[in-house]
Amino acid sequence: MSRLLELFRNKKTEDKPEDSVRKSKTAAEVTWEYVKLFGSALIIALIIKTSLVEAYNIPSGSMEDTLMTGDFILGNKFIYGAKIPLLPVRLPSLDEPEPGDIVIFKFPSNPEVNYIKRCIAGPGQIVEIRNKRVYVDSLLIEDPEYSKHTDQRVKNRSAYDGMRDNFGPYEVPEGHYFVMGDNRDNSYDSRFWGCVPRSNILGSAMIVHFSWAPDSNAPDIDLGQPLSVLESLAYNITHFPNRVRWGRIGSIVR
């Protein structure tokens, strides 16, 4: 009986495939696998950021009360033709900007800066502003739901900034778009610096994913004073529940 058991054990050992024996990996092989993993993740993140969706921060009040200072939004870069990373070409667009869209674009006078405004008119359309009221192709355009006027004065054309309240008629050039901020009396937009070239438009605003209310009492960060970083961090942690605009998180941008 013991002889039979010994023969059976030897038979199992002989039948075990050689390639099933697990070999330990070297440190270099493990490191290379992690490099490939993180490299792939980085490439995917780069493609998403440059071609599909990107996060933006609203630094000013020119779009209030549609978008507030301190809102963080996600922009759809795919809809108007995503730019291919590292190449000077774009994919075909799914749609073109239309009046009413909130668009993100490179500021024509300084392409390093991104602006966000509402598209008012497209190529070939006639824009006119009469006593703060906006007309496109002679039709009155109703103000957006959360737009506002903070100055009841109506400035005439002869004033230094009279184009704020009285502008045009003006025909939008081909390949360009006329944009305005929803905070109509406090927006630096196409009334003052002209239209946005189509090639400058990056995408369309989608959703507010976070909102952080400004606080004039918050300590400033001075890189020359390392303690100021700790002071700012401590202040923001303490006031975090009050500074977050919880009701704006997840809201759709319209």
51, 77, 117, 211: the active-site residue:
117
Backbone angles phi, psi at 109, to 5 degrees: -80, -15
Picking from 60, 72, 66, the residue whose alpha carbon sits closest to that of residue 182 is 66
For range 189-198, the mean pLDDT:
97
Span 41-49, mean pLDDT?
52
Q: Which pLDDT score is estimated for 55?
A: 85
| 62 assigned to active site | yes
Joined tokens for residue 154: 């109506």
117 is catalytic: yes
Q: What would the mean pLDDT of 35-60 be, rounded to a whole number?
A: 65
Q: Where are the alpha helices (DSSP H) in the chain?
A: 2-15, 27-47, 190-193, 226-238, 240-243
Give the right CATH number for 47-236+243-248 from 2.40.110.10, 3.30.460.10, 2.10.109.10, 1.10.10.60.
Answer: 2.10.109.10
With contact defined as beta carbons under 8 Å apart, do 53 and 76 qualify? yes
Sheet with strand 126-130: strands edge to edge = 139-141, 133-136, 126-130, 167-171
Which residues in 175-188 are b (16+ Cβ under 10 Å) and which e?
Answer: ebbbbbbbbbebbe
Which one is catalytic: 62, 187, 190, 211? 62
| Distance between CA atoms of residues 186 and 135, nearest Å | 19
pLDDT of res. 142? 94
CA distance 27 to 34: 11
The mean predicted confidence, pLDDT, of the chain is 84
Is it the case that residue 113 has pLDDT exceeding 80? yes
